[in-house]
Amino acid sequence: MTLDAEDKLLETVLQEYKILTEYERLQSEDLGGVYVTPSYDNPFLWFGVIFVRDGVYKGGVFRFTVSLPNRFPNDSAVPVVTFQSEVFHPLISPTDGVLNLADTFPRWRTGENYIWQVLKYVQFVFQSAEDHTIHAESVANNEAHELMHENRPEFVRRVEHCVEDSQSKLYDVPPVPDRNYICFDRFNPDVHGPVLESMKQNKVPEVTTPPSSGLSWVRKGLYQPLTK
């Protein structure tokens, strides 16, 4: 291996270590209802889902990806948050699902900005959508923005439709064959029942043969993820 190749390998290892550190940092932050995991095949791609708990989007279950720039975090380029289904929101493009982060992250500042902050912002724009002042240049969906301010009943109707649509897609087959894609099973008493009881008693269950998609499920009508 040449010296240049060794330097390149070391740079790659250090970069992936920094990304792993970003992921570990999430464990200590208050991100209730937001779940993310790096792709099994690509550390620069994270899969996420948010279960909205408050606000006009309450009950929504929106899947998204976080794409990290090639030189992350040593770059001013901001990560890209893309929603996987149509979301009627002033800050989310109706054409490609990209969330406009410019209001809060005009550029990435290494050592000051972290992925958990981006996820916290995702949580905020859903749970406090109508309390958030959006600058004109940051509007990604003009129709949603206009309805929010000029015809709230119609805005709420469109949002409710969006929320219902997201719930109907909760158990859809993953669009990509990635082992770390976040999936949810329908509640199965035989498989999940013992886990639920152990969670109520704050005990760790003994599982001899876990299902292939893990012990994560969502009860019908609740849209509250239960995992162990």
Distance separating the N- and C-terminal Cα atoms of the chain: 44
Question: Do residues 181 and 47 make contact, with C-beta atoms less than 8 angstroms apart?
Answer: yes
Amino acid at 150: E
* Domain extent for 104: 3-201
Question: Do residues 159 and 151 make contact, with C-beta atoms less than 8 angstroms apart?
Answer: no
211 within domain boundaries: no
**Once rounded to an integer, what is the mean pLDDT over residues 40-48?**
93
225 within domain boundaries: no
157 within domain boundaries: yes
Q: Say how many domains are in the chain.
A: 1
Residue 64 to residue 16: CA distance in whole angstroms: 21
124 within domain boundaries: yes
Query: Is residue 115 helix, strand or coil?
Result: helix
Pairing relationship of beta strands 185-186 and 80-83 according to DSSP bridges: unpaired
Residue 167 to residue 147: CA distance in whole angstroms: 23
**pLDDT of amino acid 215:** 43
228 within domain boundaries: no
Specify the pTM. Answer: 0.80
CATH code for the domain of 111: 3.10.110.10
**pLDDT of amino acid 212:** 43
Q: Is the pLDDT of residue 29 over 90?
A: no
213 within domain boundaries: no
215 within domain boundaries: no
**pLDDT of amino acid 64:** 97
Tokens found for residue 10: 């070391």
